[in-house]
Amino acid sequence: MASLLNNPTVRGIAFQIVFVLVLGWLVWDIIDNTARNLQKANIAAGYGFLDRTAGFGIIQRMIDYTEASSYGRALLVGLLNTLVVAGLGIVFATILGFIVGVARLSSNWLISRTATAFVEILRNIPLLLQLFFWYFVVLRNLPGMRERMTLIHGIDLNIGGLHVPRLVPGEGLWLVAAAIPAAIAATAFVTNWGHERQDRTGDRPPIGTINLALIIGLPVVAFFIAGRPLGVDFPVFNETGPLLRRGFQAGTGLTIIPEFIGLLLALSLYTATYIAEVVRSGIQAVSKGQTEAAHSLGLRAGPTLRLVVLPQAMRIIIPPLTNQYLNLTKNSSLAVAIAYPDLVAVGGTVLNQTGQAVEIVSIWMLFYLGLSVLTSAVMGYFNKRAALIER
């Protein structure tokens, strides 16, 4: 008996059995309580409510949606809104983050100090506060609904948002659409040929230039062949008439709502400070000898950074960068504070109307978990490509 009780394997198994039992009891208890509470409150469990009419309006929608659409559709609208703001936020934050990260290492005292100040100020202030600041403070200082501030011809700003021309697809656009994959296929072919040639002759054909020309050129040629099948719908601005009729007319042009701009701005700036730190430490991790060797080979500062330091730094940068991208996506749920209708905001409204707490929270969790699994998979792929290949 004693030897049995002191046997690590036996004890391990026994502990795990107890662990599973306790965990199972806890989960069962929660499910049981939930079911009973829902029954008591007269709330039907299940996803049937998704087909019911939503009845509320949503200010930004990528797909057709009216008050008569279903809850399910409303959630889909919110989901797409999340994806758009997170996607654009990632692009802007990356660009800004790389610039600031490199700037922090600049030999110019003023540049590096400004970059440091930018990072230290913005990353030590809560994102929600920054969001409120950008939204409510900047909102107050924009021209009113019946006025406008013209940035470039056709692009105007007022409190209703950024008004830009909208592109209207015409007939024959499929030709342009088809040209894009064709161009990508062609670049793959050119790259392959270029590498082969380099291996054979040591000569390096200008693959980059050719590829760029292909990617831009083919669709442009297709566009003109198809007879320019793309209309432009400019936003219409009325200066006369009753006050409510003045200003930008609904349904003309494309309006980027201020909630979107505020959220994008706050997310990009905040995440950029983190990305800047990632980039800086990545670059600093590249041995100084590499830079010195590049300099002694006669490379200037720019090419040294681009061709020698950054490619090596990328290996260190990518994993934490992935994390920042995920953080940005998760942080986009703060949209709920400034009325940007993302998945969490729309879900919250649906939750309040239907009382289906379990279902809505499960939809949120599935979405964000799915997204984080997907992002780590994609980044894992890039990481693998950038990894040092050692013999």
State the sign of the Cα–Cα–Cα–Cα dihedral 201, 206, 211, 213.
negative
Helices (H) and strands (E) in the chain, counts: 14, 8
Using rule CB under 8 A, residue 263 touches another protein: no
Tokens 């790259």 sit at which residue? 191
What's the one-letter identity of residue 381?
A: Y
Report the site for another protein in 289-318 (rule: CB under 8 A).
none
- Interaction between residue 109 and another protein (CB under 8 A): yes
DSSP class of residue 309?
I
d(CA 327, CA 337): 17
Taking CB under 8 A as the rule, does residue 21 contact another protein? no
Q: Find the shortest distance in angstroms from Cβ 228 to another protein.
A: 32
Q: Closest CB to another protein among 128 and 232? A: 128
261: which 2 tokens? 């701009």
158 or 187: whose CB is closer to another protein?
158
Q: Least CB distance from residue 114 to another protein, whole Å? A: 5
| Distance between CA atoms of residues 328 and 345, nearest Å | 16
Which residue among 48, 144, 208, 380 contacts another protein (CB under 8 A)?
A: 144
Closest Cα to residue 348, out of 56, 61, 133, 44? 56
Asked if residue 252 binds another protein (CB under 8 A), the reply is: no
d(CA 259, CA 336): 10
Residue 329, class by beta-carbon neighbours within 10 Å (0-12 exposed, 13-18 middle, 19+ buried)?
buried
Q: Which range, of 40-48, 86-94, 280-288, 383-391, touches another protein by CB under 8 A?
A: 40-48
Site string for another protein, 63-102 (x = CB under 8 A): ----x-----------------------------------
> Token digits for 116?
């440091």
Which CB, 191 or 383, lies closer to another protein?
A: 383
Work out whether 5 is an interface residue with another protein (CB under 8 A): yes
CB of 101 to another protein, least distance (A): 16
Tell whether residue 372 is a contact of another protein (CB under 8 A). yes
For position 15 contacting another protein by CB under 8 A, the verdict is: yes
**Distance between CA atoms of residues 382 and 319, nearest Å:** 10
Give the per-residue contact string, 342-371, with another protein (x = CB under 8 A; - = no): --xx--xx-xxx-x-xx--x--xx--xx--
The residue (of 176 and 360) whose beta carbon lies closer to another protein is 360
